[in-house]
Amino acid sequence: MTGRESLLARRALLLALLCLPAPLLAQQLGSLTFPNSGDASAQAPFIRGVLYLHSFEYPSALKAFREAEQADPGFALAYWGEAMTWTHPVWDEQNLDSARASLARLAPTAEARRARAATPREQSYLGAVEILYGEGAKAARDTAYSAAMKQVAAAYPDDDEARLFYALSLLGLSQGERNIPTYMWAGAIAQDVFAKHPDHPGAAHYVIHAFDDPVHAPLGLTAARAYGPMAPDAPHALHMTSHIFLALGMWDDVVQANENAMRVVNRQRAQRGLPPGACGHYNEWLSYGYQQQGRMSDAARLVEECWSSEARSRGDPVEGVAGMRAAYLIDSRAWGGRFVEEPPVNGGGPGVEAYLAFGTGYAAAKRGDRGTASTALARLETATGQIDAGLRPYGRILGLELGGMVQALSGDSAAAVATVRQAAALDDSLPMPFGPPMTIKPPHELLGELLLSMGRADEARMEFTAALARTPRRPLAVEGLMKSQAASGHPLESEASRAELKLLWRRADPGVSP
């Protein structure tokens, strides 16, 4: 760092701290330092924007960065921040036109924008984002941007923001898919910053994203415990903790995290004169958590609210109700109840149609209605052929599962087992899950149930064990494991494991004793 940069950095840090209003310090989006050359009047909104950016609260971050620009129209990093709100690496989303428009508001060309950046360090940040929104395909630009951020982090080893944005770029390199070696690098970088700054939202957030699968989730538990309390005004931060809790089967924590997230969402909606939210990502996870707790009436209420005409009329994102409804049917085992009817979801695309058909077909198969199940299977296979290539394997798994159930109804047990085994093998080949099962019914769990119904308890026990490796402490898999253990005559390994399974059994089906 040059002498001028050091002076500017100290000045900016002091001004930032002096200018932070009490609500920001008390609201708690976490805390960070980001030395820069912006005017004192721009520091508070700029820091607020970066805090929101690290918690993926992109609309709020955009608003904050624009406040910083109004305070200091020549503040290059404020425009950098605005441009960064248009890329969502973990979600594989990018609005290229809006991002380029944000940069153009600083100056019309990359060269002119670089000239507006006051220090070499700020020029390097701006140069990296120019690469992100330059020419070429998104994947190539993402890769080049990550390489640029690696250079920024190496050039300024004390700059934790550079290191964290580099870690985030690594999480985005696989275009929305989990790549374990790359995720581990990102997690290691974020862990190091988190150890030094346990109230930094980006550090905690990226640790969670790096490790939110059933194998690595214990590495993210400390960050998950810290993230929600440090940023209680960021709904995504509150929800994000449940990525680790769900991967570990910590159902009470999953529910609490998403209830907290929805509480803040609804408070923010009320401030804008809107009614409470009925659908959306957090409610989908909340419904799943209720189901694993055995709170089926609470889960049904969420599905019903999302399904309602009121939710549709006010423009909520109701597409998720197809998956919520299918998951509820499976976990509640209410094969002939209210949700056998399909909700009217218009314009949801083939993914929504696949989930609708699977839920309908699964419930029909469980009722012994082979005709309805077969019709649903045909719908599902048609929808799968139209799903984007990246998601098509999940549709294929659903089709194999439902296909196996139809074969079982037809009396062809051998074919049914072989078909569902294909589903399980395909599921095993996909990246580890990071949320409620995208296949709705984990195929190893379904295969275990199928084998158990045929009296093949030893094989079923192996399948339930495999299911629990991918969906830990899922009650239906625990129930199946206990039944197959009892039927096969294999004692549990310890008294502790017996007690654990008995507890989970009661949650899965309070009316049944092991």
Question: Looking at 5-9, 201-205, 256-260, 335-339, which range is the least confident one?
Answer: 5-9
- Residues with Cβ within 8 Å of 373's Cβ and at least 6 positions away in sequence, in order, are 361, 362, 364, 365, 402, 405, 406, 409
Residue 501 pLDDT grade (very low, low, confident, very high; cuts 50, 70, 90): low
Instruction: Tell me: pLDDT of 310 over 70.
Output: no
pLDDT at 24: 35
The answer to whether 283 and 310 are in contact (CB under 8 A) is: no
- Residues with Cβ within 8 Å of 451's Cβ and at least 6 positions away in sequence, in order, are 417, 457, 459, 460, 463
Instruction: Tell me: pLDDT of 53 over 70.
Output: yes
Q: Quick one: tokens of 408?
A: 């079982």
Look at 509 and 158; give whichever has higher pLDDT: 158
Residue-wise pLDDT tens digits, 217-230: 999 999 999 999 99
Average pLDDT over every residue of 487-509 = 60
The answer to whether 112 and 79 are in contact (CB under 8 A) is: no
Q: Is 32 helix (H, G, I), strand (E, B) or coil?
A: coil
Give me the chain's average pLDDT, please.
88
DSSP string covering 196-225: H-TT-HHHHHHHHHHH-STTTGGGGHHHHH
Instruction: Tell me: pLDDT of 462 over 70.
Output: yes
Residue-wise pLDDT tens digits, 411-449: 999 999 999 999 999 999 998 878 899 999 999 999 999
Residues in a beta bridge with 499: none
- Beta strand residue intervals within 367-507, DSSP E: none
The pTM is what?
0.88
Residue 375 pLDDT grade (very low, low, confident, very high; cuts 50, 70, 90): very high
DSSP string covering 115-142: HH--SHHHHHHHHHHHHHTSSS-HHHHH
Q: Containing H/E element for 49?
A: helix 40-54
Residue-wise pLDDT tens digits, 87-121: 999 999 999 999 999 999 999 999 999 999 999 99
Residue 27 pLDDT grade (very low, low, confident, very high; cuts 50, 70, 90): low
φ and ψ at residue 88, rounded to 5 degrees: -125, 85
Residue 508 pLDDT grade (very low, low, confident, very high; cuts 50, 70, 90): very low
How far is 435 from 75, CA to CA, in rounded Å? Answer: 39
pLDDT at 311: 57
- What value does the CA radius of gyration of the chain take, rounded to a whole number of Å? 25
Residue with the two structure tokens 């569902």: 420
Average pLDDT over every residue of 138-148 = 97
Residue-wise pLDDT tens digits, 227-260: 999 999 999 999 999 999 999 999 999 999 999 9
How far is 185 from 312, CA to CA, in rounded Å? Answer: 42
Residue 177 pLDDT grade (very low, low, confident, very high; cuts 50, 70, 90): confident
| Nearest partner of 350 among 376, 318, 388, judged by Cα | 388
Instruction: Tell me: pLDDT of 3 over 60.
Output: no
Residue-wise pLDDT tens digits, 315-332: 555 678 899 999 999 999
Look at 10 and 494; give whichever has higher pLDDT: 494
Residue 492 pLDDT grade (very low, low, confident, very high; cuts 50, 70, 90): low
Question: Looking at 40-49, 235-244, 383-392, 485-494, which range is the least confident one?
Answer: 485-494
pLDDT at 313: 55
Instruction: Tell me: pLDDT of 1 over 70.
Output: no
Neighbours of 264 (CB within 10 A): 18
- Residues with Cβ within 8 Å of 291's Cβ and at least 6 positions away in sequence, in order, are 299, 327, 328, 331, 332
| Nearest partner of 423 among 405, 410, 411, judged by Cα | 405
pLDDT at 178: 86
The answer to whether 249 and 473 are in contact (CB under 8 A) is: yes
Q: What percent of the chain has pLDDT over 90?
A: 77
